[in-house]
Structure 1
Amino acid sequence: MHDQFDQLEPEAMLREITELEGRIGELRQAAGLPEPDLRATLDAALVELELALAALRAMGTEHGAEQGGSAAAENERRVLRTVFQDAPVPLFLLDRSSSVRRANRQAASLLGVSAGYVSGKQFASFCDLATRAAVRSQLAAVVRTGRRRRVQVRFLGRERGIDAVVTLARVWIRGEPDPMVVVAAGAAGPPQGANPPQGGEGATRARPAGEAGKREPQQRAAGARPAGSAPRPEPARAVPRTAVPRRPDADGPGARRATAGTDDARAERAAPVPQVPGVPAGDDETVATLVHRMDVLATACELLLDEPVFNETVAVRRCARLLAAELADWAFVDLTGPGGPALPGAGGATAADAVPMLRRQVAMGPDDERSVEAARMLEELEPVQGTLPHTVFLTRQSTVRPHVDDLELLGVCPDGQPVCAKIGATSVLSVPIEDGERCLGTITLTASGDYGPFDLVDLGVVQRLGRYLALVIRASRLYRRRAEVADTLQAGLLPKTLPEIPGASVAARYLTATHGAAEVGGDFYDVFRTEDGWGLILGDVCGKGEDAAAVTATARHCARLAARWKPTPGDVLGVVNEALLDEDRFVTAVMAGLTMETERALVSLGVAGHPPAIVVRADGVIRSASRGGVPLGLFEDFEPGLDGVELAVGDTLVLYSDGVLEGCNLQRQEFGMERLLETLAAHAKDKPEGMLAAVERALLEFCDGDLRDDVSMLALRVEPPSLN
């Protein structure tokens, strides 16, 4: 070993020491992986110690002796030329930096790629993370010492990890300034007592949690979903998955895997697979791949479009959960805000307008304790400049890295460990989330290689899914903006605060319907001074939207103005009716005129086709006032329904819209008058605010939060005389 270092010039010696430091750092990272190969790492560490010792002995001595043994090197070169391509075992020829110069047909077949694809890439890139550092160290030892070595590795095969034992031998080739290494691979079973690698065959991968309206991911051997299978929610749990072998692809990594439950895999693999036009009969693996891709896209459409109201957060999490379950080990979604940069050329936007402001929305991986902890940390790790998601976002160019060599491709964790090493990522793809006008973010997937590397088919599927997600996000943001505008306009149609009425307390509630929330509702209420006391009015305009808002404003302000000179609610409603005759919408309303006296209030009621007022006595007795009249704005000869009640201390007057009565549960049963009266009676002792809050809770619980119409309520209670 000492002699080998003596042959190096001082510059080469410094280079060797620098490379030694780098390999030692890789060994440290390998020891910190979720499932490290500690035996291989230890063996490699001992090799590095031997090399370091030899380097120390050689420091300060004279170097420069010419490499001897040219006859032996030439002899090995002739042997390689004769045997290399037709050897019955996989062979790789590596240069001094461990890059693959050439691979024979058997080696390409082992990895499931073409020989041209392997050339130029780091040999360690085709090994799993647990053995990469050890392989690099052993290769360096072979180059320096010339001793042949045997190393157990796990290749990242096309469908799953492949355990193998490789023999490393140094050769000298004329014309090459540095020695080269021949790697011969032979099959090997897993070490005795070794744990199965995470994500490999026989391992588990998390299935997404069941959700309302979400189809349960099916167990697939041939990738096909059983016909007529019905969606059903299921708690989150781990499901065994295996890979489906496919025919090798001559142009690169093969198509991704379809998956199956371990117990059913053998039986389902034997089942016939439907014929796909353009695919040769009998090519079951290709058909399985196509069916699986179509099923993933169909499931994605179902999940993204299932919500009656688009919800960006729900859509993003559903998309990530599906991808992490069906195509990858980890899924990351990074988004910009609602004002994200426009695509160059869209609406006059230029490349200078694309200011990257990516924020991580979700990081989803396996459901084991270590991965869940890592996911929490990775959700706080923003995609910084230079990382693959950031680059894809800026360039709008989808990228697939079948074999990852740069472990910092996705950034570095706060503890200094590369993200790829943290999650065991050996294959990565990233696509932009584009809606046709703007790039809203990126989807990034990683795989450990146990099911094979990502390929262009995977990239195409995720690109399409990114487009679907972008459209849902755009619709969600547009809907949210419209809802905010509607809320602002609706707030302008309702009083900001209710006036204080001496001797009484007043409260109001307004709930927007969950359907059509982006449109202005037609409910309104108001409390105002009248000629002889106070007026309370609550109404409901037919329909929603801007036209309904105009009628709402007319009805409310007309009633407030007419109450200044009209003595009774019936007269006030008559004036409002005349004002609305030229409108295309009608209005139902109920108005109460109050005259406050000592320890009581006299109430006169006018009703225009509206649900009747309710009086809740202090002792819990309920009285429903008279109904009647016709809606406002329909006929010139308007006649309201009239009634009068007297309220004592502790009595409460309640006005409400028909949205309360017509709220429905999942069985399409209405909340109805009886449930309303029971709720009010149960809270007869409460203040008006507490009474209306109780009705709101009961209604939302009955409807499961799904309101088909706007709800408005107004309550007044007579209070005891103040000592002041």
Structure 2
Amino acid sequence: MTGAEEFGAELADFRSRVDELRTARALPAQERLSALDAALFELEHAADVLWPRYEELAAAARGGAEGLRGQSGQEQQLLRALFQRMPMAVALLDRETVVRRLNFAATQLFGMRAGFATGRRLTGSLRHDGRAALRGQVAAVARGEGARSLLVHLPGGRAGAALRVTLTALRPSGELRNAVLAVFQPAADGERPGPAPAASKAAQSKQVAAQGSAAGPYLAEVTRHAELMDLLDAMATALLGRRAGGPAELLERAARVLQGQFADWVVADLNDGGTLRRVVVLGPSQADGLRAAVAEGNPADCPLVVEATAAGTSALQVRPDDPELFGRDGDGAALLVRAEVTSLVCVPLRPGPASPVRGALTLLRSGARHAFEMAEAGVVDRISRHVALAMAAVEPSRGRDTAEAAS
């Protein structure tokens, strides 16, 4: 039997074993650990045995066996397809937990697209109390100190938030350093801190539905576009319905349109001649204490707001790495951590590029809610301009100069 035939036979056996692993999804959570070990073994086999053998065959065939070269390209595509179709969430990380590749199950678990996740730290998708532990364990595995496993949590306390992650080192072909293969699966019942509340389960179901199915992405995009148009219409109605008594009242109207279905938190800060003051804070009804802490905070101590009002720049961040980006409460705790913020948008309030910035509008999403997308951030940017124009209309002394600058 030739080398190519042996490789084909071994690859066929590998495919049949992976097909058997796909049935692991039907097993109870406490019985999936053995399937996880088998999946890791198969992935290591593909990386340490099948891939080097493919490279040997490709090198031997460079002298003229074009047919074999084409077959090897097909095998490479097959290995990539197998990675994508693994029933468990799998991520390839570097030693600093930066994502190099996610399979489809991992994109569903973490609620992000593979292209967006690549180049970002995976720890941003986890609860703050487990990020340092995962970074340390990934670094140890990458150094060659052996495979290991630990318990991590998704933010928001949603159903299935407790995850068992198993880490093993891989040496990608042609690279000098190890990468780390991370496999995630729901933690066993005994490892969970307790059953998730019904509200969290409903939030998780809503998040999965919002992502749309793989069979109908176009329908999901159309639906989302219609929702954003409805949001713009509701905002126009709120701003033009009746004359406001001042900027603070106008900002509160706008915040009430945004808070709830579109954002969990809406915070508006005004810039009065270089002095920032917080005028509107809307958040979840059950977070009275936290809402008071945000309202009492000084926007001058929030780097996000200062940057928006000083430089006039907008910001969109998913799983922000800096927990102090929105300031701290009176006890020194980071507000983003207390609110379990998973994504945010901050936009300056000004009617035109040459106009002075009148304030900043900050929107926060937390828990299991789907992260802000670029299209949503674009709509918020338009809304901020409309709100700034409406503010100029209720400030006659500023209105003429602002309108001229906007034009």
Question: Same fold, TM exceeding 0.5?
Answer: yes
1:405 shift after superposition: 1.7
Provide the aligned C-alpha RMSD in A.
3.9
Given candidates 400, 413, 426, the residue that maps to 2:342 is 426
SS for the counterpart of 1:430 is strand
Aligned partners of 2:147 and 2:166 also within 8 Å: no
Aligned partners of 2:245 and 2:394 also within 8 Å: yes
**Residue matched to 1:323:** 258
SS for the counterpart of 1:412 is coil
**Residue matched to 1:126:** 125
Aligned partners of 1:402 and 1:428 also within 8 Å: yes
Given candidates 277, 281, 289, the residue that maps to 1:359 is 277
Aligned partners of 1:333 and 1:442 also within 8 Å: yes
Paired with 2:113 and 2:249, the residues of 1 have a C-alpha distance of 41
**Residue matched to 2:390:** 472
What pairs up with 1:96-107 in 2 under 5 angstroms?
A: 96-107=95-106
SS for the counterpart of 2:228 is helix
Code of the aligned partner of 1:417: A
**Residue matched to 1:148:** 148
Question: Is 1:78 the counterpart of 2:43 in the alignment?
Answer: no
Structure 1 residues 385 and 413: CA distance shift in structure 2, 3 A: closer
Aligned partners of 1:85 and 1:105 also within 8 Å: no
Structure 1 residues 386 and 362: CA distance shift in structure 2, 3 A: closer
Aligned partners of 2:98 and 2:122 also within 8 Å: yes
Structure 1 residues 142 and 297: CA distance shift in structure 2, 3 A: same
Matched residues, number: 322
Given candidates 237, 245, 259, the residue that maps to 2:210 is 245
Aligned partners of 2:328 and 2:334 also within 8 Å: yes
Q: What stretches of structure 1 of length at least 5 have no aligned partner?
A: 1-73, 205-220, 222-240, 250-279, 341-355, 483-724
Aligned partners of 2:392 and 2:399 also within 8 Å: no
Paired with 2:146 and 2:362, the residues of 1 have a C-alpha distance of 42
Structure 1 residues 385 and 456: CA distance shift in structure 2, 3 A: same
1:441 shift after superposition: 1.1
Question: Is 1:389 the counterpart of 2:299 in the alignment?
Answer: no
Paired with 1:309 and 1:411, the residues of 2 have a C-alpha distance of 30
Bigger relative contact order, structure 1 or 2 (CA pairs below 8 A, ≥6 apart): 2
Paired with 2:213 and 2:312, the residues of 1 have a C-alpha distance of 30
1:134 shift after superposition: 4.7
Code of the aligned partner of 1:293: L
1:425 shift after superposition: 0.8
Code of the aligned partner of 2:259: A
Cα-to-partner distance string for 1:142-200 (whole Å, 9 max, x where unaligned): 557524214353279xx9987644322234568766654210123569847323398x4
Query: Percent identity, aligned pairs only?
Result: 29
Paired with 1:382 and 1:79, the residues of 2 have a C-alpha distance of 59
**Residue matched to 1:460:** 378
Question: Is 1:303 the counterpart of 2:221 in the alignment?
Answer: no
Structure 1 residues 101 and 283: CA distance shift in structure 2, 3 A: closer
Code of the aligned partner of 2:180: V
Structure 1 residues 161 and 441: CA distance shift in structure 2, 3 A: farther
Would you tell me which structure has more helix in proportion to its own residues? 2
Query: TM-score, normalized by length of structure 1?
Result: 0.39
Q: What stretches of structure 2 of length at least 5 have no aligned partner?
A: 1-43, 52-75, 401-407
Cα-to-partner distance string for 1:101-147 (whole Å, 9 max, x where unaligned): 33345434544544332222111112244643553455456557524
Paired with 1:160 and 1:80, the residues of 2 have a C-alpha distance of 38
What pairs up with 1:654-669 in 2 under 5 angstroms?
A: none
Larger radius of gyration: 1
1:386 shift after superposition: 6.9
**Residue matched to 2:168:** 169
Paired with 1:78 and 1:409, the residues of 2 have a C-alpha distance of 43
Code of the aligned partner of 2:366: S
Aligned partners of 2:267 and 2:362 also within 8 Å: yes
Given candidates 213, 216, 225, the residue that maps to 1:290 is 225
Cα-to-partner distance string for 1:175-234 (whole Å, 9 max, x where unaligned): 766654210123569847323398x44369xxxxxxxxxxxxxxxx9xxxxxxxxxxxxx
Aligned partners of 2:146 and 2:169 also within 8 Å: yes
Paired with 2:399 and 2:147, the residues of 1 have a C-alpha distance of 70
Structure 1 residues 197 and 133: CA distance shift in structure 2, 3 A: farther
Code of the aligned partner of 2:100: R
Aligned partners of 2:350 and 2:359 also within 8 Å: yes
Structure 1 residues 383 and 292: CA distance shift in structure 2, 3 A: same
1:362 shift after superposition: 1.9
Aligned partners of 1:160 and 1:449 also within 8 Å: no
Paired with 2:388 and 2:313, the residues of 1 have a C-alpha distance of 15
1:283 shift after superposition: 4.6
SS for the counterpart of 2:298 is coil
Paired with 1:474 and 1:293, the residues of 2 have a C-alpha distance of 25
1:296 shift after superposition: 1.8
Cα-to-partner distance string for 1:655-711 (whole Å, 9 max, x where unaligned): xxxxxxxxxxxxxxxxxxxxxxxxxxxxxxxxxxxxxxxxxxxxxxxxxxxxxxxxx
What pairs up with 1:508-657 in 2 under 5 angstroms?
A: none
Code of the aligned partner of 1:304: L
Aligned partners of 2:207 and 2:368 also within 8 Å: no
Query: TM-score, normalized by length of structure 2?
Result: 0.66
